[in-house]
Chain A
């Protein structure tokens, strides 16, 4: 009986493992091929499937650097980091206020925030550019950092999370103890909002890092270009140099891969806790 049971478990495990390994290979293979192809000369890329890296990485890297890719990289890191930080700051304050303060027009304001989420970015692009031009921010990195910080999704996200996860009694207790509103927000609200803020920061970084249309329209100085613009430039400048293009794509994915490798638990816990209402 025991032997039979063992065999049964063993068989299931083997099947499960095989399925898992195959699924993992299917998921990982494109990344592996992408990294691998960046080490090949363009003409060699279509002579068969490349399983092992080649020796052309340095040359591809050299080609890549002729378009100032490293500067674009630094710009993207700067923009995405600042944008993520500011988004968390602005949205946490706004979401907290909409959730925990009762004031006239609160519901209407919440609805306005929701409405703005429904409008595709492309539709409001012309108005956005005119606004940035009037302010004098065109051709700078500010339009990529400041306006996205007032993210409608971020406000909505924090509001939902805060409403369910911060007990009003805790805030009331703090007030009774003489704690000021800002201190309550910083010392009580923010720690409660930690997982949601972390999730929002990651999503904000991701959106900012991948943003293409807005930088393409507002930037006319190559020194300010971000990675997505740089990658498109690769396609123009090195349309025959596929190896350099793929190496650029590989480099562009590194920050995102690292962030998710480091903070995937926080992201998942943040998403899960906001999704479940107890």
Chain B
């Protein structure tokens, strides 16, 4: 009897493993996507201007990526550089920075192209490990980059050390049905008049909270994401002193009022429950750059038609998220030229802008593309036929719109802020949460003072 149980269990194990292996055999083709762009996609697309094709540069470069942002976004690259092969190695996004830092610390091989996510940008840009791209031999032409992108690519000395690929200026996406229910209109222009400042959000949140059915924002994290960029006008560190009284504190005060009005939902950002909030029909606002619409809203609310609207945040837009590419000084010398050709094509060319926009409905920061018809956009049924591309570009062009200010202390502040938001959610006052935030930042960044 004992033997038969063991045999049964072994058979079951073999069956399960065999099942997995059979699955492998069936999908072998798909799994090669990490190494090379999907063959079908490369072949797809229009004709290529032969004068733009470069066959002289040849070789193989490696880029560590998370997800398929580049694999799909740069799908046309090999039409223009047929002899450069880009090996995409997928690295879990949460551990990406640790992997890079370990490679830097141990002197082991780095990829030829490193992705620097916005949360890590402040720290990474200020490490003296990246090639300076606005100097020889790269000579990045800053006039080809939207002005809002320059601070996102620079270190504290003003040197450009990476190139952000995506235009991440955010607007406010809102649920039209709920907007009519609580504010009497779903027209973007009318909404912008009603919500001309953040006080109006607090005022209107009272009715939402009293109804007890819906929320202004899905969570305190979302409320923070929606307004922190609006307050961040000054550097967070000035002469070695923490300078957040005019940015973090008012953000916390805004959240405190919303929490008191019971207008903030329970969906903690980036959790599975939060993903469901898009289709839950009880959240009015999300801050929404283009990537957020493609990767968050549409996949998590696939059945909605005409549900959403897009408006300019009070006081203009702000940068939210984004991925930039850098070339490590420690990368193989022979690959640096190839890596720059790749980065330049994707981020600073009309062809790259088209390829990226076609894949992700997201604009790059390549300025001349905005003078073409590429980003004229089209009515989007998801947004009740509103032209969202046009709207986001209108926000990007708004002179009040600002880029995030990135510092070497971003990680420290991010951790302290995460705890403060949970405290605010639990009912702590803004003053108390802010005091706690400052204490934690100063404890972790010992070279800063109050």
Contacts and interface: CB of A to CB of B under 8 A. Distances in A.
Q: Chain B at the A interface: mostly helix, strand, loop or mixed?
A: helix
Interface string A181-205: 0000000000000000000000000
Interface string A237-278: 101101000000001001100100110000000000000000
B31 A220 contact: no
Contacts of B276: 43, 45-46
B21 A74 contact: yes
A262 B26 contact: no
A255 B10 CA distance: 10
A254 to B, nearest CB: 5
Interface in A204-261: 216-217, 220-222, 229, 232-233, 235-237, 239-240, 242, 251, 254-255, 258, 261
A174 interface: no
Q: Chain A at the B interface: mostly helix, strand, loop or mixed?
A: helix
A77 interface: yes
Interface stretch (A6-14, A22-30, A123-131): A123-131
Interface residues of B, number: 49
Interface in B10-57: 10, 12-13, 16-17, 20-21, 23-24, 26-27, 30-31, 33-35
Interface of B: 6, 9-10, 12-13, 16-17, 20-21, 23-24, 26-27, 30-31, 33-35, 62, 64, 66-68, 89-95, 98-99, 102, 105-109, 111, 272-273, 275-276, 279, 295-296, 299-300, 302
B10 A65 contact: no
B13 A70 contact: no
A243 B31 CA distance: 20
B92 A242 contact: no
Interface of A: 42-43, 45-46, 61-62, 64-71, 73-74, 77, 125-126, 129-130, 133, 138-139, 216-217, 220-222, 229, 232-233, 235-237, 239-240, 242, 251, 254-255, 258, 261-262
B92 A254 contact: no
B16 A254 contact: yes
Contacts of A255: 13
Contacts of B296: 240
Given A240-B299, A258-B13, A129 B102 contact: yes
Given A73-B20, A258-B13, A216 B106 contact: no
Pairs A-B, 8 closest by C-beta atoms: A70-B24, A232-B92, A68-B31, A65-B27, A129-B106, A46-B276, A240-B299, A65-B23
A236 B102 contact: no
B430 to A, nearest CB: 31
18 contacts: A46-B276, A64-B23, A65-B26, A66-B30, A66-B33, A68-B31, A69-B20, A70-B20, A70-B24, A71-B31, A74-B21, A77-B17, A129-B102, A133-B108, A220-B109, A220-B111, A222-B35, A255-B13
A261 B302 CA distance: 42
B102 A237 contact: no
A70 B16 CA distance: 11
Contacts, number: 117
Given A66-B31, A254-B13, A254-B16, A126 B102 contact: yes
Contact of A237 (B20, B21, B68, B272): B68
A79 to B, nearest CB: 15
B275 A240 contact: yes
B6 to A, nearest CB: 6
A236 B92 CA distance: 6
B280 to A, nearest CB: 9
B3 to A, nearest CB: 11
B92 A216 contact: yes
Contacts of A71: 24, 31
B265 to A, nearest CB: 14
A236 B66 contact: yes
Contacts of B12: 258
Contacts of B109: 138-139, 220
Contact of A258 (B9, B35, B108): B9
A77 B16 CA distance: 13
A126 B105 contact: yes
Given A222-B34, A236-B67, A43 B279 contact: yes
B332 to A, nearest CB: 14
B206 to A, nearest CB: 29
A262 B26 CA distance: 31
A233 B13 contact: no
B113 to A, nearest CB: 13
Nearest to B111: A220
A240 B67 CA distance: 12
B108 A138 contact: yes
A216 B31 contact: no
